[in-house]
Amino acid sequence: MPSLPPAILADIPATLRANILADLPEIMDIQDHGLREQVIAAWALSLRDSPFSRISDIPGEGAPNHFVLRQGTQEMHLRGVAHLAVGVVDEFLRNFPGVEVDRDIVLAGALCHDIGKCWECDPANQARWQARPDKTGYPSLRHSVYGAHICLAAGLPEAIAHIALGHSMEGAHIALSTECMIVRWADNSWWYSAAALGLCQPDTLAAAGGMMSPRPAA
């Protein structure tokens, strides 16, 4: 897959790198050193062209005005999805040690699945798209699509770009890898659980349908 030149990807300011690892410490649990560095480079690339200085600055929402957390930001969601997805893998490996699953791809994919929110949650992009959706579309590219672009530009494996694209509604139109399926359901579990627990703003839950009766906020 074509990607940016390695020299550009390796040029990550020390503070930015430290903040990425502070927000997503699970990156260090990725066993493949090269994959771990590609995840850091991808987040650095996505943040570089956005108004957000770090992952914990990105709003805590499934998409703008959709499953919006009452409090907390995006790093809580990414870490939670990573914990759930890896927990699913480890649960099945414990009882079915013969199953074929790439734990590193699940972990890296979970940590990168919403990497495109630097673009979709950018207030300037939102204002631009809302001003002339007839010209730009709304949004022009959802975070899943932009996220796949970032993953490929950063040199991440196709399997991670597939998770960035397939975790979201776009994934309903393609066949998903096993690792993507695990991340997709971990992502859904996180948001539906957060909503049911009363952690999301109720007026942002229309997509959850009639089954959702959120618990009152504590």
Which residues here bind Fe ion, judged by CB under 5 A? 114, 168, 187
10 Å Cβ neighbour count for 31?
10
| Residue 62 or 155 having the CB closest to Fe ion | 62
| Residue 58 or 152 having the CB closest to Fe ion | 58
Q: How far is the CB of 61 from Fe ion (least distance, A)?
A: 10
| Residue 35 or 81 having the CB closest to Fe ion | 81
Confirm if 155 and 9 have CB atoms less than 8 A apart.
yes
Burial bucket for residue 38 (CB in 10 Å: 0-12, 13-18, 19+): buried
| Residue 40 or 58 having the CB closest to Fe ion | 58
Q: How far is the CB of 120 from Fe ion (least distance, A)?
A: 9
Q: How far is the CB of 185 from Fe ion (least distance, A)?
A: 11
| Residue 179 or 187 having the CB closest to Fe ion | 187
Q: How far is the CB of 113 from Fe ion (least distance, A)?
A: 6
Q: How far is the CB of 5 from Fe ion (least distance, A)?
A: 29
Q: How far is the CB of 159 from Fe ion (least distance, A)?
A: 17
| Residue 37 or 187 having the CB closest to Fe ion | 187
Report the amino acid identity of residue 79. R
